[in-house]
Amino acid sequence: MGNKMKVGIIGAGGMAEYHVEGFRKAGAEVALIIDADLDRASAFSRRHAITHACTTLDEGLKLCADVAAVSIATPNRFHMPLAVEALNHSLHVYCEKPPALNAGEMAKMAVAARSSEKRLMFDFNNRARTESQAIMKYIRGGEAGRINSAQAVWVRRAGIPGFGGWFTRKDMSGGGPVIDLIHMLDLALYLMEYPQPAYIMASTFDDFMGNPAFKGPWGFADVKDGRMDVESACHAFITFSSGQCLSVRTAWAEMVEREVASVTFQGQKAGAKIERVFDQDGIDATSHDSCMLFTEENGLQVNRSIVVPREESMGRVANAINFIRAIEGKAEALNTPDQALLLMKIVDCMYESARTGKPVAFES
């Protein structure tokens, strides 16, 4: 037990459950749970047999001085200050998505990671899904050729996560579905190997914000007289200096047939599509993707159905395992601060384009 890497978790919510499972499967000891609500932290520690529970990182490091890393599973507003605090304590950091409220905050996190020479990673769990990793093997094996174009889609017909709570407050969340459903944008960029953007054009809409018919089924409580100053949908188009392009559709509430979460790409040699499978109510009950490769063989057009093991945590456990393995030098990190910074710069450009109604030139 004494030889195990000790890890702490900040935020005793639902995502922390996956962090516990992943860290333990990687051989680490979860020794500390921190939450602003001590009762919540204590209940989580009892449920998961974690030794220490407290309300601040400083207190936690006094209780458990040999913690080597922490994960952050809090509302978005607290990602940057907590990550910088932890990195300044020479701790490795694993943070839930989105990385931060904006690129400026993410840049501070990247600087702190470089200064501390510690690992900073994010829960871009869709990269770690078995389907995504299978497609990436084809890409890296050269079977797709250069990816010319891609489409990143995550749209819901009725999926606003409550009205007036932290999700719909820009100062707390950073934005609406562009931020909350950032996974497909990130997955598309990952499969395209994160090319350098050139121009970004976007439009946002908020037609259904506040309409109870478009509230999601996840049970977030509404806040009376709470703020709702984020978008409910966004459509964007990104060109890259390499000549590649990417279209993005993201929505909590939009007049679509059903919920769709997918990445499709068209390469010089082959194309592919990874798509989440939802039940009739738009709930991800299967934790499974369909995974197809579109190619040509023997002069024939061929669609390959790629069958991979089902991973019920949707990559969340595998991504947490990768964090520990990357710290130990046993695996390549699935994501980096530089990629997270580029992602957040794209998000900022999308919002700026939507605000001005004009294309925005990407500045590296």
Helix count (H) and strand count (E) of the chain?
A: 12, 15
Whether the per-residue pLDDT at 241 is higher than 80: the answer is yes
Q: Which two tokens stand for residue 187?
A: 């997955």
* pLDDT for 287: 54
Residue 288: pLDDT band (50, 70, 90) is: low
| Mean pLDDT within 14-34 | 97
- Residues in CB range of 331: below 8 A, 6 or more apart: 322, 325
This prediction has a pTM of 0.95
Residue 310: pLDDT band (50, 70, 90) is: confident
- 261 closest CA partner among 144, 159, 122: 159
Contact 236, 181 (CB under 8 A): no
Domain 127-313+342-361, CATH number (from 3.40.50.300, 1.25.40.10, 3.40.50.12780, 3.30.360.10):
3.30.360.10
> Hey, is 49 helix, strand or coil?
coil
- Gap between the Cα atoms of 73 and 140, Å rounded: 32
End-to-end CA separation in angstroms for the chain: 45
- Gap between the Cα atoms of 157 and 117, Å rounded: 43
- Gap between the Cα atoms of 144 and 304, Å rounded: 13
Place of tokens 């999926």: 159
CA angle, residues 339, 343, 349, in degrees to nearest 5? 145
> Hey, is 110 helix, strand or coil?
helix
H or E element at residue 150:
strand 147-155
Domain 6-123+318-332 CATH superfamily: NAD(P)-binding Rossmann-like Domain (3.40.50.720)
| Mean pLDDT within 69-83 | 98
Q: What's the longest Cα–Cα distance across the chain?
A: 67
Single-letter amino acid code for the residue at 253: A
Single-letter amino acid code for the residue at 129: R
- Gap between the Cα atoms of 129 and 144, Å rounded: 19
Residue 7: pLDDT band (50, 70, 90) is: very high
- Gap between the Cα atoms of 44 and 16, Å rounded: 9
CA atoms within 13 Å, Cβ hemisphere of 43:
9
Whether the per-residue pLDDT at 364 is higher than 90: the answer is no
> Domain-by-domain residue ranges, the chain?
6-123+318-332, 127-313+342-361
- The overall average pLDDT reported for the chain is 95
For residues 116 and 219, the model is more confident at 116
- Gap between the Cα atoms of 333 and 320, Å rounded: 11
| Mean pLDDT within 200-226 | 91
Single-letter amino acid code for the residue at 9: I
- Gap between the Cα atoms of 225 and 6, Å rounded: 43
H or E element at residue 87:
helix 79-88
Residue 280: pLDDT band (50, 70, 90) is: low
Whether the per-residue pLDDT at 295 is higher than 70: the answer is yes
Angle (deg, nearest 10), helices 103-116 and 79-88: 10
